[in-house]
Chain A
Amino acid sequence: MKNMRTLITFLLALALLSGCDIIDMPQNDNAHPVNPVTGLTRRVLLEDCTGARCPNCPTAADLAESIQNFYNTNEERVIVVDINMVAQFSAPLAPDYTTDFRTPAGDEYATHYNLSVIGLPSGLINRMPYGGVVPQGAGSWSSAVAAVIDLPPDMDVWFDSFNFNSATNVVTTTVKVAVINAINGPHNLTVYLTEDHVIDWQEDVRLPLGQQNVPDYDHRHVLRDNLNGTWGDVIIPTSAQPGDTLSESFTYTLPPAGAINHVINTANCSLVAYVYSTSGADADEVKQVAERKFVP
């Protein structure tokens, strides 16, 4: 019995000593990106799957902004797009939530990643698995971004030309892709139209009861439309070699006033272009992304 007491005491002490990291001051004030930016980097697309009636989503949106602020000190390394989806969290509900931010593409992404079952908020970090799955709870976003942001890029993507005619609301642009490392397998190019700082209703569970419906919430980086469909266009049919340069041009008319997802302020709009694999072990993985603001 004495030996048993000793053993139990030892095991309990071991468990208690090894099992707790109590942190009083969580803010990592001295944090900085592990590898300071030198030359071309692999930028990260953080798709924030959200909804105006998702009470937990503003926390995730704030986190996305913190991640952006952390990495985007010298250049855009993290590009955030808010994709409204899942009827439960995004369908209009009178009298306040009358705006429908959903898009056909967003609905298809929700289906593809089973997000109506998993729930919101959720995030897609370069659409790569982290911890075994692609959709990430917001608690993993920082870590998932950190895990991929210093990976070497296989390609670069940029907007080679851009013009917006405010009289006709027509955007013309050419997206170019420069291959750095050999690419095997087909890849698609998708281009988003986003609008920043859309002021509208949002539920926020962090606020006191009775104040959780916020009429003037600042919706960031809202996906308005896909220029070339939900899954984009083929940009690399089979494979590409280092030195190859590919391009695709777009002429796109913004949704007119009154249309679902019409743009409110074109000065806050951007185009986001990304290339992703469409088959194989890395299917869905976003290889590179770039953003072009209408007003740089």
Chain B
Amino acid sequence: MHPRIRLATTLSAFIAALGLFAQDGGQIHGNFSTDGQLYQADDQIGAIKPPADFGLNAWSNLNYRSGNFQAGVRFETYLPALLGYPAGSPYKGTGLGYRYATYTANDLEVTVGNFYEQFGQGLAFRSYEERSLGVDNAMDGVRLKFNPDTGIYLKAFIGKQRFAFDNGFVDGTGIVRGIDGEVSLTEAFPHLFPKWVEKGHFLTVGGSFVSKFQADLDPLLELPENVGTWAARANYTTAKWNLYSEYAYKINDPNGSNHFIYKPGQALMANATYSVRGLGISAGAHTYDNMVFQSDRGAPSPFDLNINFLPTLTTQSTYNLPATLYPYATQPNGEVAYQGEIFYKIKRGSKLGGKYGTKLTLNWSGSWSLDSTAIPNDTIHYLGYTTKFFARGNRQYYSDINAEVRHKFNDKWELAFTYMNLVYDIATIQGHPGLPVVYANVYILDGIYSFNEKTSLHFELQQLSTKQDQGDWATGLAELTFSPHWFVAALDQFNYGGPVTTEQIQYPIGTFGYIRGGSRFSFSYGRQRAGIFCVGGVCRVVPAANGLTASITTTF
């Protein structure tokens, strides 16, 4: 169907639905957000001025709810999309990016159109949108959710995935179908766990099966048209403990990412947290082996048409230098990772705790390759390699040891100091083959000074030292907030330790903004360094840019 006809048809149906249900006193809610950038060339940082010197992304959600009925649409505009956006296949034009209708009756929820969904932590299936990355694999089809009895939750769906955007969302070629069951044993069968019920403990188990269908047109190989993944999970929680584990197994799934091997994939993750007042301890481990699972075996990029999601265990720093220079990206074709963290709050009133207490955090995470052995010249079974389950290999992708001390001295001052030690395999993580592993130390001073109840200054001083890559960096940040309406900020990232003096570059950005009710306006002017931007272990390339950026968000 032509995009314009499809848009008109959908809008008509949506308006008709509003008319039908408006008499029940339904409500419409929505929001709008836009990011625009006016570009200018900057030879020093490699920023180009594209043919259209202004790019704009915009999204607007309209949601209607009346009783058990809910429907909504999302309009999207990319005229053209901001440079480097989205992560995968292109978005262009204006149109509908999402539309759905949901009805709930008798513990059965039916959704038609687009939906996001997740089974467990996502090892077998996760459909989600991460707008800052430009990742959106929304399903387009039918979903059923059924709650037949207390503590029993069933889900089933079938559909295609959002792939690109061309005056409307474009679905990929593959069909994805899945079924999931989750049982809270302590809720569904309380008579079997009387002591746990009495103590408020919960034990939940779940299982899912997800499969994709894609026709086989390949004349060279016999490709599996139906590729299935099953997963099982368990979660035990008490007031102090949370134990979670999930395992997934995928049958042969030759694809561009795994070099067309027919080896099955598997993943296991396990996390444990212990938390009491003033103390928190967490530990986690996982292994991912050949777990790229996309609804198109030839997806153009690793960001397109992902059916599953592989969480990262590494710390997702929000500080400018570690977050923009050396963030970790999950290696779905093979990694073994561990993580541990201790949080302790020194009591207020003690010698070290002072009036407000002192917070200490110590975190370590590491990621390695799989311990695998290639099978050379395997032209029979195409298995690619063998590996021992959960055995880590010799190549270290990442390590991060970080410690933070945070202390509030009085009503005006709060300071935090962070030290990070990074080991970063930039060749693997950022796809810069041949570059040596980066060993870096990062020092961060983060402070807040409150002038009065309405005015405060947030500042950060960051320094990163390394002998590899581009050498030493520093970042300074100051944010002055005049509550409740105004804020102004300045940030400068400076590569002062680069090996070539002429390439020692500053990346300053100035921002000011205004907030009024549910609306927020902000304007920035300055340089953006070429690099990568990551959320949850998924990273996209960010090109160098220089210019004026405007952002507006509002809700109603």
Contacts and interface: CB of A to CB of B under 8 A. Distances in A.
Contacts of A89: 431, 433
A147 B217 contact: yes
A137 B299 contact: yes
Contacts of A131: 163, 172-173, 296, 298
5 contacts: A19-B226, A20-B227, A27-B379, A137-B298, A209-B369
A67 B432 CA distance: 29
Contacts of A55: 433
A141 interface: yes
B374 A27 contact: no
A186 B380 CA distance: 48
B172 A132 contact: yes
Given A28-B222, A141-B298, A132 B431 contact: no
A54 to B, nearest CB: 7
Nearest to B296: A131
A190 B381 CA distance: 41
Contact of B394 (A27, A96, A114, A209): A209
A21 B226 CA distance: 5
Interface stretch (B231-239, B240-248, B249-257, B336-344): B249-257
Contact of B434 (A16, A20, A22, A97): A97
B219 A70 contact: yes
A117 B163 CA distance: 15
Contacts of B435: 93
B259 to A, nearest CB: 4
Contacts of A23: 222-224, 252, 262
B394 A31 contact: no
Given A20-B224, A140-B299, 10 more contacts: A20-B226, A23-B222, A26-B254, A33-B219, A34-B219, A59-B260, A118-B89, A137-B300, A209-B369, A213-B434
- Chain A at the B interface: SS class: mixed
Given A4-B148, A18-B211, A97-B434, A117 B541 contact: yes
B84 interface: yes
A19 B228 contact: yes
A28 B543 CA distance: 42
Contacts of A33: 219
A63 interface: yes
B173 A142 contact: no
10 smallest beta-carbon distances between A and B, as pairs: A140-B298, A19-B211, A139-B256, A139-B298, A19-B228, A21-B224, A143-B217, A137-B256, A142-B218, A20-B228
B181 A139 contact: no
B514 to A, nearest CB: 32
Given A12-B179, A59-B259, A97-B434, A132 B173 contact: yes
B90 interface: yes
B163 A26 contact: no
B209 interface: yes
Contact of A1 (B149, B369, B432): B149
B431 A136 contact: no
Contacts of A146: 217-219
A93 B298 CA distance: 30
Contacts of A132: 89, 163-164, 170-173
Interface in A139-186: 139-144, 146-147
B221 A142 contact: yes
Contacts of A25: 222, 380-381
Interface string B152-191: 1010100000011000001111000111010000000000
Nearest to A96: B434
A143 B298 contact: yes
Given A4-B149, A138-B256, A26 B382 contact: yes
A24 interface: yes
Contacts of B90: 114, 133
A106 interface: no
Contacts of A207: 374
A280 interface: no
A144 B298 contact: yes
Most chain B C-beta atoms within 10 Å of own C-beta, residue among A97, A139, A213: A139
A260 interface: no
A289 to B, nearest CB: 20
A96 B435 CA distance: 12
Interface of B: 84, 87-90, 148-149, 152, 154, 156, 163-164, 170-173, 177-179, 181, 209-211, 215-228, 230, 251-252, 254-257, 259-260, 262, 296-302, 369, 374, 379-382, 394-395, 431-435, 540-541, 543
Most chain B C-beta atoms within 10 Å of own C-beta, residue among A26, A89, A121, A146: A26
B268 to A, nearest CB: 20
B172 A31 contact: no
Contacts of B299: 137, 139-140
Interface in A83-124: 88-89, 93, 96-97, 114, 116-119, 121-122
A197 interface: no
B218 A119 contact: no
Given A4-B148, A18-B211, A139-B255, A31 B433 contact: no
Most chain B C-beta atoms within 10 Å of own C-beta, residue among A19, A116, A132: A19
Contact of B259 (A15, A19, A56): A56
Given A132-B163, A143-B298, A26 B219 contact: no
Given A53-B434, A139-B255, A19 B209 contact: yes
B156 A11 contact: yes
Nearest to B379: A27
B292 to A, nearest CB: 10
A135 B178 CA distance: 29
B383 to A, nearest CB: 10
A89 B130 CA distance: 27
A22 B298 contact: no
Nearest to B432: A88
Contacts of B171: 132
Contacts of A19: 177, 209-211, 226-228
A18 B432 CA distance: 41
Contact of B301 (A93, A137, A147): A137
A201 to B, nearest CB: 9
B209 A208 contact: no
B218 A143 contact: yes
Most chain B C-beta atoms within 10 Å of own C-beta, residue among A24, A56, A59, A142: A142
Nearest to B250: A20
A110 B520 CA distance: 37
Nearest to A55: B433
A203 interface: yes
A37 interface: no
A20 B251 contact: yes
A93 B435 CA distance: 9
Nearest to B152: A4
Contact of B220 (A18, A142, A147): A142
B222 A15 contact: no
Nearest to A25: B380
Nearest to B385: A206
A119 B431 contact: yes
A102 B159 CA distance: 41
Given A4-B148, A28-B221, A15 B434 contact: no
B297 to A, nearest CB: 4
A256 B56 CA distance: 45
Interface string A36-57: 0000000000000000011110
A8 B228 CA distance: 18
Contact of A139 (B152, B254, B380, B395): B254
A122 B218 contact: no
A27 B224 contact: no
